[in-house]
Amino acid sequence: MSLKHQAFQGVVWTFSEQFGSQLIGFGINVVLARLLLPTDFGIIALFAVIMALAKVFVDSGLTGSLIRTQNPDEKDFSTVFWFNIVTAIVLYALIYLTAPWVADFYHQDLLTPLIRVYAVILIIDSFVAVQGVQFVKEMDFKTNFKIQLPSMIIGGISGIGFAYYGFGAWALVYSSLIQNSIFTLQYWFYSDWRPSFIFDRKKFKHHFSFGSKLMLSSLLDVSFNNIYTILIGKKFSTSELGFYSRADGLKQLPVNSIAGALHKVSFPLFAKISHDDEKLRDIYKKLLRIVVFAIAPIIALMVVAAEPLIRFLFTEKWLPTVPYLQILAIAGILYPIHAYNLNILQVIGRSDLFLKLEIFKKLLIVLTIAISLPFGIRGLLWGQIIISVLALFINTHYTAKFLKYSGYAQLKDLFPSLALASICAVVVWGSDVLYFHNLTDIVRLLCLSLLYLLLYVGYEFLFKSKEIEVLKELIFNK
């Protein structure tokens, strides 16, 4: 099986996992949003930042190092496993002790017990990091698909039950605990690997020398990705944070389903061919074109149909989410380009350059926030669009150097999909204003979606775009 076809098979199963889990999670969230209040989601968003940072420390970039290591042995796996366990326990103890301070910072007393219970997930998740790496290295995304779905279904149903009986924000906490516990148990069932009582200092130094730079980059990335949550939670109400969190979650659906699937596949795939610049560039270009071809129309349609979408799914109480979703969706359309350019630096072992880029971009974020914060939440979100555009040129700098594929060349390749998605969005928006705006939400959504699909896909097939040819090649060229 060729690398291209192996990549396609990996994408199919990873997309199935991502799309299936996102679809189920989305359905569960729709029900929960109808049962709970925006403030409940806002409270959870407040300490989700802490959990995200803690998970970066637990991993410390070691799983990324394992993925790029050729032929890792038992010492590699066990060393990383025990480091994850011990780090998770230490961090849980710290979070438990400092939870009251976090609650005081946000003036939310309920946060103390919520954080202390929810943080148990750190320890639960630390038991499966190595098994996850092994499945990724083998490009066995099918097993992960079988593990993910039942975990989400059982956890989601339990969360709905807790919400129905009035548990409020606790329903979201219990749902996550149940889901992650089932996920971990299944990983141990499907994986034959068991840790040995080994901790090799030499192996640890090897992985940490690479992983520590990824960890610092990830800490910067997570901190600044969540800086909006921190600022909105501190400066505005928990309801506003709930609306922002809902909009950000919706924006992530196409990104996590499509770009996330390709990102999971591309890292181990790129690692296999990191020694061959020409082949690496060829596959990189094809995957990038496909992901933008798939994401651009979904994002554009989301912007146009935001109002009927929010009202139909979550009811009138969530309508303040609409402008947030529209702005965030525009900012998110460039995410795949950022992710793949940074992937290249990881697979060629230049985590030092990865870190330098992240530091430079974070300084840019601080400057943009300082300018946009006086303009309120919408000002902050429009600032994200500016950051996304500027970061594109920063992230493509080293790709141009190592792969001879500049940011200008990338935009030139991707321009047809981006332009077509935008033109179709304008046509569909005009049709909505003239013909569809008085229809019921569900009928309006169907009309907008069908019209957009006909315009976008019809044009691509009629004029035989390069993206369609690339997709055919990945599917049929074994």
Summarize the confidence of residues 354-376 as an average pLDDT: 85
Q: Give residue 26's pLDDT.
A: 82
Using CA atoms, how far apart are residues 261 and 136, in angstroms rounded to an integer? 12
pLDDT at 209: 82
pLDDT (tens digit per residue) in 147-170: 888 898 999 999 999 999 999 999
Residue 285's Cα: distance from chain center in Å?
Answer: 21
Cα–Cα dist 403/311, whole Å:
46
Closest listed residue to residue 459, CA positions, set 412, 433, 429, 427: 427
Write out pLDDT tens, residues 184-215.
999 888 888 898 888 888 888 888 887 787 78
Say what the pLDDT of residue 280 is: 73
Closest CA to 37 of 228, 312, 317, 230: 317
Instruction: Please say whether the beta carbons of 46 and 108 come within 8 A.
Output: yes
> Domain spans of the chain?
36-229, 236-478
Tell me how far the alpha carbon of residue 141 is from its chain's centroid: 17
pTM: 0.74
- DSSP assignment, residue 193? -
Q: How far is CA 284 from the centre of its chain?
A: 19
| Residue listed under structure tokens 């690398």 | 3
Q: How sure is the predictor about 413, in pLDDT bands with cuts at 50, 70 and 90? A: confident
pLDDT higher than 90, residue 393:
no
